[in-house]
Amino acid sequence: MRFLYSGAVLLAVMASGLGASARAEDEDRGAAMVAFFGGLEADWDGRGVQRSLDGNGRYVEERFDIELDVDRDWNNNTWRIDHEFDFERGSNENGSTKLHVIGGQLFSGEEPNLYPLGVSEATPGSLVYGFQRADVYGRVFHFAVSFIFDERGDLDGSITVKLNDVVVEERLYRARRW
């Protein structure tokens, strides 16, 4: 009986140490994300290419211009990213996303059907994260988003959308501060 009790105490002590370690990693990741978004705060202008599946299972490419406006929202851990994609065939896409850095994770408080999948890389020079969104038909789309500053301070970005492990859309772009 004493062995079981001491073993349980040992496991509890080990688990509490692991919890502290995980909290420290979350704090480090959160600090890196705050530093990254601090560097991202600006107006960005660039060009890119989108590759998407058409209705026949073929990939179609289209070029686009992109404008990003990244501002800190009402506190130190929240940013609003306004984006505009103007495609060469005449269509455009405008939107806004509010992202919250909480406990080393990234959340969007404005979209109830948007679920974070985690942050796989967070440094002051790069951020890679994922999320999923379900549509009204019950399909679940997985998004992978990356932002990376190059040596000149330009921004390389990508958005990859998968459905059932098939890439249905991918956008790659490069933008500069203005």
Write the CATH number for 71. 2.40.128.20
Supply angle C-alpha 48, 49, 54, rounded to 5: 155
Residue ranges in the chain assigned as alpha helix (H): 2-40
Domain carrying residue 37: 2-177
Q: pTM score, two decimals? A: 0.80
Q: Which position has the higher pLDDT, 12 or 59?
A: 59
118: enclosing H helix or E strand: strand 114-123
What percentage of the chain carries pLDDT values higher than 70? 87
- Looking at the 3D structure of the chain, how many domains does it have? 1
The string of pLDDT tens digits covering residues 50-81 is 999 998 999 999 999 999 999 998 777 899 99
